[in-house]
Structure 1
Amino acid sequence: MIRVLLAEDMHMIRAALTALLRLEADLDVVAEVTRGDEIVPAALRVRPDVAIVDIDLPVLDGITAAAQLREVLPDCRILVLTAMGQPGQVRRALSVGIEAFLVKDAPGERLADAIRRTAAGLRVLDAELVASAMERGESPLTSREATVLRETAGGATAEEIAARLHLSVGTVRNYLTGAITKTGARNKIDAIRIAEDAGWL
């Protein structure tokens, strides 16, 4: 029996995935969580063989949570689910050693098969997603530029970001300008869109 932890914040999707997986005789959903920060505590409690993790989780994103899970439970295999296969997210997932990456619109039998293959120690990666990630390349943004752009995307003003990061307003604006230039954007809104589409934020 393969013990599965499911991390998905959308209630209907989580219920549907759980029902689907429970139809499989060799799969047992032993825990369900709705937030990224709940993954490690739940995994330590139930010791799953495979954790299915949605990328877009509240509080802590799925890839960061998966990296933390890898640290505390290295024997637990990780399968990341996403609605969109953004190249930057795929690269990030691969960089933290995630074994499997699957888009949510894959057929149900493909998910069950991916869980079995992941549990067996195999990598399950969509070839087109990986090729796209390799073509897109690494994020051109520095850590600070990405942070400032992420804060801006959340609605923070330059003054608020400066206060949070202990920087001058001018420095924050310089980081924003750098992010706009490096993404080839027309303005900060365009830079946010480009960076989010690429999975760089």
Structure 2
Amino acid sequence: MIKVLVAEDMHIVRGALVALLRLESDIEVVAECATGDEILPAAVASAPDVAVIDIDLPRKDGLTAAAEIRERLPSCRTLILTSMGSPGTLRRALSARVNGFLLKDAPADRLANAIRGVVAGRRMIDGELALAAWDSADCPLTARELEVLQLAADGAELAEIATRLFLSAGTVRNYLRSIVTKLGARNRIDAIRIARESGCL
């Protein structure tokens, strides 16, 4: 039996995911979470084989929670669900070393198959998204620069970015300067726009 944790903040969506997974004879849902900060404690308590995590959760994003699981419970696989199907989002997920990445509008049976795949040690990536990433131009930003820019795009101020990434304010300022330069942007807002349009974010 494959033990699964489901993390999704929208109650109806989470309920539907759990109901679908309970139809599978080899899958057992052992924990449910509505916020990102609930995931690690729930995973430690329930020891799932796979954590199915929405990328965009309140109080802690899904990729951060997945990284925490990888560090504390390396035997637990992580499968990210997203409605944001940009190549940049896939790059962020891969840089976070998740085991799978699936669009929320994928057919229902694909989720169960992706769970089985990551348990078997395979990396499960949505095919259409993988092709889009393959075809897109290489992003000039490093993984750390993408983290900084994503937080800025989410509305975080310099001090908050520094705190969340365990960096000094000066280092964050340097990253933002580098990002603006690499993207040929006028300022931080323009850099966010360029990164989104090019699929980096």
* TM-score, length-scaled by structure 1: 0.79
Residue 31 of structure 2 is matched in structure 1 by 31
- The structure that has the greater radius of gyration is 1
Matched residues in 1 for 2:143 and 2:24: separation? 45
- Match of 2:53, SS? strand
The 5 A counterparts of 1:1-201 are 1-134=1-134, 135-140=136-141, 143=144, 147=148, 150-151=151-152, 154=155, 156=157, 166-167=169-170, 172=173, 178-185=178-185, 188-196=188-196, 198-200=199-201
Deviations 1:20-63 (A, max 9, x none): 11122221111111222221111000000111011111222111
Q: 1:189 to 1:74 in 2, by over 3 A?
A: same
CA positional deviation for 1:129: 1.9
Number of equivalences: 195
Gaps of 5+ in 1: none
Query: What amino acid sits opposite 1:33 in the alignment?
Result: C
Gaps of 5+ in 2: none
**Identity %, equivalent residues:** 52
Matched residues in 1 for 2:67 and 2:29: separation? 21
The answer as to whether partners of 1:145 and 1:178 remain within 8 angstroms in 2 is no
- Match of 1:109, SS? helix
Matched residues in 2 for 1:150 and 1:81: separation? 19
Matched residues in 2 for 1:81 and 1:148: separation? 21
Matched residues in 2 for 1:88 and 1:104: separation? 17
CA positional deviation for 1:127: 3.1
The answer as to whether partners of 1:150 and 1:192 remain within 8 angstroms in 2 is no
Query: What amino acid sits opposite 1:22 in the alignment?
Result: R
